Chain A
Amino acid sequence: MGKIIAVEDAHAAALAAKMANVDVVAAYPITPQTHIVEELSRMVAEGELDAEYINVESEHSALSACIGASAVGARCFTATAGQGLALMHEILFIAAGNRFPIVMAIANRCLSPNINIWGDQSDIMSSRDCGWIQIFAENAQEIFDLILAAFKIAEDERVMLPVAVNFDGFYATHVVERMELPSEEEVRRFLPPHRRQTGYLLNPDKPLTFGAIGFPSIQFELRRQWEEALCRSKQVIKEVWREFEEVFGRRYEVVEGYRMEDAEAAFILMGGSAGTCRTAVDRLREKGCKVGMLKLRLFRPFPREEILEATGGLKTLIVVDKHICLGGLGGPLFNDLRSLYYGSKSSIDVVGFIAGIGGRDIRVEDFERMFERTIRGEIPPEKYVFLVRGEA
């Protein structure tokens, strides 16, 4: 049986990697992720985790080392944030396109300039097309559970793709929360202790060539296979999360609704702001507003059917992004959702807000104001709106 513990969220990520019995950790410090790799270093030093801990000299090398270790069959974990993810950018694609089942925790942090260590989602959103499975967690329990499940998803032979588990820098790294820590025995019922040693590894007994040059005559097909594999992974993700529920009793869905019964309007967002948003929804409900919230747990592959189903009865969808597609048409989630509904039978109004950039608090009142301004028709559906000081 599991036990209830109080844990810093960053340590919940480290605990998940430990209980997944990772073989290799390649780590480079960057705020606000650092507590994860510090805790893993402690675990290795204490003999609690039998892993090779590689003190790489950059995040670029962190992911590169994970690729090398993954290519010989090791279960690999790394963690990063902000600039570190940007430095990895090139290697993100190579890890995914060459189908290495690496799991990475990302403590989402604002990209420079100005240098800012606080949370928003500009890091992952600037790398969103890298072909990884991208999951968003809200709190310690979700961080632990979704990282543990990420190994099972990544290593499934129908998937063989890396998984990034995102959570808010500081808000979901430097806080202490209640969490149920499962027993070793429970974890082993869910996730095998090691990766299966398949034939697709760097092995002198069966020499294979990895990372060959792709001429125009073949590259397109390879890229399409990757895209299809990523899209197909959604079914496996749902399957693995169902298995997770069977073993641990906690249910995870790709889109999670809150007070969506009879809702005419709903917020949709990713990550830790969901907690604040729930309070705002409660307050608005007290005032008689028919409003709910959708928390998007899976961002890539984009769960289009599930979103369409969850938003079926809505008149208005209020999208809250923590990243600006600079010079574009607003936030990335807003863009995806507008594309999703364009040309569909749905007459839903999709309204976009950009909030929480560079670690700016999104308060309960901010969510209430977003709702009120939307309902009053002050936000034209074609335009995105910034939520900055004095503007909303």
Chain B
Amino acid sequence: MAVSREYFKTFRDLPREDWFIYGHRACQGCGEATAVRIILKALGPNTIVVSPTGCLEIVSSPFPYSSWAVPWIHVAFENAAAVASGIEAGLKVLRRKGLVEDRKVNIVVLAGDGGTVDIGLQSLSGALERGHDFLYVCLDNEAYMNTGIQRSGSTPFMAWTTTSQVGKVRKGNLTWKKNMAAIAAAHGIPYVATATTAYPLDLANKARRGAEVEGPAYLHVLTPCPTGWRLPPELSIEISRLAVQTGFFPLYEIVDGQLRITVEIRKRKPVAEYLKPQGRFRHLTDEDIAKIQEQVDRECAKLGIP
């Protein structure tokens, strides 16, 4: 198995410059803003970004202002991967015809979970299947936060949202989180990985590997949302770390079909440590938490995590 290249061993290896710049309107502690900043540091200025509708688009582009120091396009909600397909195909043919400079440009989708696992899944599947050379990043805050914390297919089991309310007969979201990374991997694409903000170098390296690989790459990034998760903003990074340490969100990469855990957890913490600080899980009983723990154990076992 090929060893993945470490582009960034320390923070000093990341450029000082930013291409997602200050002045955006993200909430305090926004995991998405943190992740995007790191991803663009890893990719550098020779990059074109596509974003579907969502938090990121709203906070970064209030006309006539923009937080994007790289070319950026937003078209609609469900079609970011199709737009990226067109950019990739367009540059390919224009290069072939000598109409644009012959150089590699990173084409990156920075999308939310709604725009990826729900409404954007069809166009994403099409683009992955066709093999376009691009990196698709899902910035997963586990609900439609921009419209006011509505449940998505990526919302965890029993989490409260404004459309999976907690009441006398129902306790939040009824279903388990959709495993989007596995769906992406099922397309047989060369690179799939998961990442989160508490492990920035891991995130930066995966973004860069995804961009460097020839063909489609999919990166699923858990990005805590203090507003929607009912969490103090200063715990944004801490909760991201707990997601990994409890095995709730394992960090791995799948290179040409071979899975490798990139952040090894020797002894998993109980999942309660991840759930308890979050207001969206405050209604859970010990029994509920035990049920979630069982599911986390099952998923970890599938990945070979002790």
A residues apposed to B, CB below 8 Å: 23-24, 26, 50-52, 54-58, 60-62, 64-74, 76, 90-91, 94, 98, 194, 197, 202-204, 206-215, 218, 222
Instruction: Determine whether the beta carbon of A197 is less than 8 Å from that of B63.
Output: no
Contacts A69-B87, A70-B86, A202-B73 hold; do A64 and B63 have CB atoms under 8 A apart? no
Q: Is B72 an interface residue (CB 8 A)?
A: yes
Instruction: Determine whether the beta carbon of B92 is less than 8 Å from that of A52.
Output: yes
Contacts A57-B126, A72-B100, A207-B70 hold; do A23 and B83 have CB atoms under 8 A apart? no
Question: Which chain A positions have C-beta within 8 A of B92?
Answer: 52
Instruction: Determine whether the beta carbon of B87 is less than 8 Å from that of A72.
Output: yes
Question: Which chain A positions have C-beta within 8 A of B66?
Answer: 209, 212
Question: Which chain B positions have C-beta within 8 A of A55?
Answer: 130
Instruction: Determine whether the beta carbon of A23 is less than 8 Å from that of B97.
Output: yes
Q: Is B223 an interface residue (CB 8 A)?
A: no
Within 8 A of A (CB), among B36-94: 45-48, 50, 57-58, 61-66, 68-76, 78-79, 81-94
Q: Is B122 an interface residue (CB 8 A)?
A: yes
Q: Is B125 an interface residue (CB 8 A)?
A: yes
**B114: min CB distance to chain A, Å:** 16
CB pairs A–B below 8 angstroms (14 shown): A26-B85, A54-B85, A54-B89, A57-B123, A61-B122, A65-B82, A68-B82, A69-B90, A90-B76, A202-B71, A207-B71, A212-B66, A213-B63, A215-B62
Instruction: Determine whether the beta carbon of A71 is less than 8 Å from that of B73.
Output: yes
Q: How many residues of B contact A (CB 8 A)?
A: 49
Count A-B contacts at CB 8 Å: 168
**Which listed residue, B47, B70, B94, touches A72 by the CB 8 Å rule?**
B94
Separation of A74 and B89 alpha carbons in the complex (Å)? 9
Instruction: Determine whether the beta carbon of B62 is less than 8 Å from that of A212.
Output: yes
**A323: min CB distance to chain B, Å:** 26
Instruction: Determine whether the beta carbon of A208 is less than 8 Å from that of B71.
Output: yes
Question: Which chain A positions have C-beta within 8 A of B99?
Answer: 73, 194, 197
Question: Which chain B positions have C-beta within 8 A of A62?
Answer: 82
Instruction: Determine whether the beta carbon of B62 is less than 8 Å from that of A74.
Output: no
Separation of A206 and B46 alpha carbons in the complex (Å)? 10
Instruction: Determine whether the beta carbon of A69 is less than 8 Å from that of B63.
Output: no
Instruction: Determine whether the beta carbon of A58 is less than 8 Å from that of B126.
Output: yes
**Which listed residue, A60, A210, A211, touches B123 by the CB 8 Å rule?**
A60
In chain B, what residue has the closest Cβ to A98?
B75
Separation of A76 and B48 alpha carbons in the complex (Å)? 19
Question: Which chain A positions have C-beta within 8 A of B81?
Answer: 61
Separation of A61 and B125 alpha carbons in the complex (Å)? 11
The residue among A68, A90, A208, A215 with the most chain B CB atoms within 10 A of its own CB is A68
**B36: min CB distance to chain A, Å:** 14
Question: Which chain B positions have C-beta within 8 A of A65?
Answer: 82-83, 85-86, 89
Question: Which chain B positions have C-beta within 8 A of A68?
Answer: 50, 73, 75, 82-90
Instruction: Determine whether the beta carbon of B48 is less than 8 Å from that of A69.
Output: no
List the 7 shortest-distance A-B pairs measured between CB atoms, nearest first.
A68-B86, A69-B90, A57-B126, A65-B86, A61-B82, A211-B74, A74-B90
